[in-house]
Structure 1
Amino acid sequence: MATITRYPGVRHLRSTPTAHVMQLRDGTLRRSGVGLAFWFRPLTAVLSEVPVDDRELPLVAHARTADLQDVTAQVTVSYRFENPEVVAQRLDFSIDPATGRWTGEPLQQVGQLLGELAAGHVMDALAGATLREAVSSGAGPLRQQVTAALVADKRVAATGLRVLGARVSSVRADADLERALQTPAREAAQSEADRSTFERRALAVERERAIAENELTNRIELATREQHLVTQEGANARTRADEAAAAALIEARSQAERRQLHATSTAEATRLQGEAEGAAERARMAALADVEQGVLLAVALRELAAHLPAIGQVTVTPDMLTGALGALTARRGE
């Protein structure tokens, strides 16, 4: 909006870089441009200000599809005033010389014009599509059709406007219809989720089965190894027993042979000793064969004394001495 400074009898206008200002006096265009600053007389000057920046117009367009279903499209139209002088002739953009404000509502007129044109093009674009096509095809095709139609619209160009483009945020149907349209997709998604769940469960069961089979295989392997170990330990025990029995047999045979050798040697020694003693006894008996009886008695007494136990004390009585002396005397008399 332009800034107007009041002075006695005159005014000073200073516009912005985004506003195109035009001054008319007596029906003649005196000044026209962007970012102007000039003096003017309020009683003779007619001022107009047209914005030249890019603007957007949001609107909601209602349409009916080929299958007679109502849909709503949220559209945003971007535009600008390409020819401000033509716009000022077609629409009221005049401003008050005292305040610099628009005397009317030109932007509302522009919005109504573009809104009706955009709504009409939306209706034309959706009239040839079914409800499912309009909702599921997305905003891209509709945006292209509405943009092309607005750019080619002669009334827009005649008003001095230029449509930069149109954006379609969404195409929505009635809530009940949307739920009905969403049902197959939801069921498909639910089916896909169920299938994923079933596959995950089947995979888990398969993995559990593989783990169980692996554990069973390990147990069988361990049992087989244990059986081999027991068999090997039994064989080792039998081998040790056989070896011990063989060693014991060899030891018993060695001991028997040693005892036999010892007995043989002992018997031989005893035989030899007996033969030697017999020979000695025969020699001694042969030696005593011609000895007198008294000598033999003395030898017998000596042998007897050698085999008698030890005598600590001997008591000789007169009777014993008398008998002994008598026997000795008798032997000598003979």
Structure 2
Amino acid sequence: MITLAEVARHAGVSASTVSYVLSGKRSISPGTCERVERSIHELGYNAGARALAGGRSDIIALMLPPHTDAYAPSMLETAIAVTNTARAHGYDVLLLTGEEGPAAVRRVTGGALADAVILMDGGPADERRPLLRESDKPVVLIGPPAETAGLTCVDLDFTATGALCADHLAALGHHDIALIAEPSGPAARTLHGLRARSRELGVITRHLPCDGGHAAMTDALAHHFAEHPATSGFVVQHDPALEPLLDTLHRQGRPVPEKASVVAICPDRVALRSSVRLTSVSIPAQEMGRRAVEQIIAELTGEHVAEAPLITPKLTVRATSGPGPR
């Protein structure tokens, strides 16, 4: 049976465009419509038979987070990995922005627009999650919510990441560690792991929230060191804070790695392009995208779907971690 994806390739358009031509849900230019209809006729594509055979569109909907500005590089890596992996399995990807909100979920899950949904880290208040939990279409989340029952999730093990950072810095002799990160989401899990392991190691752990701007970082560190001058190890889970932190530490007479150590939780691309090559735990954005699609394909093809394990963190030592104060 001819698939929608084959029609799309023959017509030189995306599978979503073919779907829109068939459904009439969006305005498509007359020239494109004519080209798609010609391909449907030449290939003998029968949308009705296709629907009776399972209602498959050969499209996976990828829903972006509500706010994409804070972590656009990682989001782009994940989206590209989703698209490439989907294409390798004969599927196209329909990109839906977070601003579309619950309406996008209803549009996708209420018809034949897409066969499955991948939702990228929407945060605890994302109104789309309850709707997706009720959907009869396969759904995979990149970044698990607090309550994962009934959902398939793919993510880095951030709790283990926090513990790994504590192990590394404590082994170097740092006994007062600060996590610079937002107070919620993956960073909350990192903080939990960091604190739990630090208690076992007899290390002090502090949380230093910061919006990442240079002035904000300078001010936050000044207040922090006024109260906690012994802090010498830093874990950073907020890319925009990295360069301001390195610069501020240097200007305060705490150069890295001679008097302070920094471990970043970020994509390798960020760690390698920093002004100093960062010791880091890599956020495996591409692997998360690939695994999410593989989970979807397994569900669509009727294979046994085991619960997706969290990805084990890996720490790479570079130029920003060294012995703690003696």
TM-score w.r.t. structure 1 length?
Answer: 0.19
Which has the larger share of helix? 1
Higher relative contact order (CA 8 A, sep 6+): 2
TM-score w.r.t. structure 2 length?
Answer: 0.19
